[in-house]
């Protein structure tokens, strides 16, 4: 609420300014009016690029927090006004004159201008406030936001909306079939989004699941889970299936779950897999480069092996957020630990094929690459957790970010070898930029 009030204050100051005047001791009559400088303070500034402007058109670059002074003086009795001419860009912030934006210069230096900066750039607002929602990056670059509760769990939402980075706006899309809070939403290989479980008013834990289709903007039911779950984790595996682990099965009394299950998009069904060693009500599940899944939380960490369908205990790892790093290690933020997998190669992986083969693109365009693994039993799977690299960074860069994993950007004419690696196994192709 404080952040919202602060942002409204900034917006109001942009639009309306301030009606105060700058008072000081009365000046003696003179042939030429005395002149005074405009001064103030800046707080919250983190980077470079902030430029302030007064009503005479004088620009002042500000690079540090603290006091600032315009070098050009303004005559006593004149109007004085300060605006933000240029926002900081490194990093991006939003700054506004939150006090003393304008007034009349009396017979003293102006010292009441206050400029305040906040992180990020303001964008469009959602159509609904929705704590407990999910936000999922789609293949088209938009973000699907689902469910949540605007008023302390009393009213759980089924509505959903899409954020478009190109316009900075949210638009309403089709609603879910069930109201959901603290549920999961997982992007599948086919571009659809699997939504599972969650809490529904009045405090009913759900086993149902549904699919969002970006092509139609609609949700349709798919098979239900074997267990109702809220607060669980859902992880897309290399084989395209989704591992659902832990959570709470009932709220009164609270029932913590150790069970896990797999969703198969080909059949639209959930099947039970091996259970965790310990129940985990709010797990964090991270897909490793070797295809296994690291499950952390309030209990000792465990590893899920998709090939065996079992969980095994691993090193002593604390709870908190878990982030897969480019080198294959996992950062456990709350406990400031690094988890180092024993191997980065999926079990039974023999080779990796990168497609499309030897594509040609123009400067400024992008190319999505897919890594397909061949295993010792002759099966083939699309690999979600490989590490991508480009041999010619001046011509082509390729991202390992979760949202656009394996997307190459053509920067300049030339050739680059694009490589996908999973431990000691790798595959490559050549991208030509014209």
Q: Beta strands of 91-245 (E only): which ranges?
A: 93-99, 102-104, 110-119, 134-137, 143-146, 160-164, 169-173, 184-187, 193-196, 199-200, 204-205, 209-213, 218-222, 233-236, 242-245
Mark whether 213 and 262 lie in a shared domain. no
Instruction: Give the pLDDT mean for 16-35.
Output: 46
pLDDT tens, 272-306?
999 999 999 999 999 998 999 999 987 789 999 99
Q: Is 70 in the same domain as 167? A: no
Domain count, the chain: 4
Residues 377 and 281 grouped into a single domain: no
pLDDT tier, 27 (very low <50, low <70, confident <90, very high otherwise): very low
Query: Residues 340, 364: one domain?
Result: no
Residue 243 lies in a domain: no
Q: Are 76 and 138 contained in the same domain?
A: no
User: Is it true that the peptide bond before 379 is cis, omega within 30 degrees of 0?
Assistant: no
Structural domain of 383: 349-433
Report the run of H or E that residue 3 belongs to, with start and end.
Answer: helix 2-16
Residue 180 lies in a domain: yes
Query: Which span out of 79-88, 100-109, 237-246, 319-328 was modeled with the highest average pLDDT?
Result: 237-246
**310 lies in the same domain as 338:** yes
What is the pTM assigned to this prediction? 0.68
Same-domain pairing of 115 and 142: no
Give the list of residues 6+ apart from residue 99 with CB closer than 8 angstroms, or none: 13, 18, 112, 113, 114
Report yes or no on 244 lying in a domain: no
For residue 107, how far is the Cα from the chain centroid?
A: 51
234 lies in some domain: no
Torsion, CA 203, CA 205, CA 211, CA 216, rounded to 10: -10
- Which of 344, 367, 397 delimits the end of a domain? 344
Q: Are 82 and 56 in contact (CB under 8 A)?
A: no
* CA distances in angstroms from 305 to 270, 284, 315, 318, listed in the order given: 17, 16, 15, 20
**Residue 111: which of 54, 53, 40 has the closest Cα?**
40
Residue 155 resides in a domain: yes
Burial class (CB in 10 A: 0-12, 13-18, 19+), 19: exposed
Q: Are strands 360-361 and 425-433 parallel, antiparallel or unpaired?
A: parallel
One domain for residues 136 and 187: yes
Residues 340 and 362 in one domain: no
Band (154; pLDDT cuts 50, 70, 90): low
Q: Are residues 8 and 79 in the same domain?
A: yes
In this predicted model, which residue has the larger pLDDT, 233 or 348?
A: 233
List C-alpha distances in Å: 124 to 127, 166, 334: 9, 11, 31
Q: What is the CATH number of the domain that holds 429?
A: 2.60.40.1080
- Domain with residue 9: its CATH number is 2.60.40
339 within some domain? yes
């Amino acid at each position: 609420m404080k952040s919202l009030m602060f942002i409204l204050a900034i917006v109001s100051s942009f639009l309306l300014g301030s009606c105060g005047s700058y008072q000081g001791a009365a000046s003696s009559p003179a042939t030429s009016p005395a002149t005074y400088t405009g001064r103030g303070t800046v707080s919250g500034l983190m980077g470079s690029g902030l430029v302030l402007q007064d009503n005479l058109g004088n620009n002042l670059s500000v690079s540090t927090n603290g006091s600032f002074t315009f070098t050009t003086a303004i005559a006593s009795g004149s109007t004085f006004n300060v605006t933000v001419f240029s926002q900081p860009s490194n990093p991006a912030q939003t700054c506004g004159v939150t006090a003393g934006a304008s007034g009349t210069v009396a017979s003293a230096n102006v010292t009441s201008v206050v400029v305040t900066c906040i992180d990020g750039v303001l964008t469009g607002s959602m159509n609904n406030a929705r704590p407990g929602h999910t936000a999922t990056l789609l293949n088209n670059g938009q973000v699907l936001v689902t469910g949540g509760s605007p008023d302390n769990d009393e009213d759980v939402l089924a509505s959903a909306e899409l954020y478009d980075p190109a316009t900075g706006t949210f638009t309403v899309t089709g609603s879910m079939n069930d109201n959901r809070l603290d549920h999961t939403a997982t992007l599948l290989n086919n571009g659809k989004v699997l939504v599972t479980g969650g809490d529904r008013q009045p405090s009913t834990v759900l086993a149902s699941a549904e699919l969002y289709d970006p092509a139609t903007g609609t949700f349709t039911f798919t098979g239900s889970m074997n267990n109702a779950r809220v607060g669980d984790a859902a992880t897309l595996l290399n084989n395209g299936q989704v591992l659902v682990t832990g959570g709470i099965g009932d709220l009164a009394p609270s029932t913590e779950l150790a069970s896990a299950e797999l969703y198969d998009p080909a059949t639209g069904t959930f099947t039970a897999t091996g259970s965790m060693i310990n129940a985990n009500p709010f797990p964090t599940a991270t897909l490793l480069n070797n295809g296994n899944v690291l499950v952390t939380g309030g209990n000792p960490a465990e590893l899920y092996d998709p090939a065996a369908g079992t969980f095994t205990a691993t090193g002593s790892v604390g709870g908190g957020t878990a982030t897969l790093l480019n080198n294959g290690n996992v950062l456990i933020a709350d406990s400031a630990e690094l988890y180092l997998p024993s191997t980065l190669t999926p079990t039974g992986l023999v080779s990796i094929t990168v497609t499309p083969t030897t594509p040609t693109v123009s400067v400024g365009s992008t190319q999505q690459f897919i890594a397909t693994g061949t295993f010792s039993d002759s099966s083939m799977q699309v690999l979600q957790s490989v590490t991508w690299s480009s041999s010619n960074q001046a011509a082509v860069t390729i991202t390992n970010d979760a949202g656009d994993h394996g997307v190459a950007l053509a920067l300049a004419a030339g050739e680059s070898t694009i490589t996908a690696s999973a431990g000691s196994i790798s595959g490559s192709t050549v991208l030509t930029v014209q």
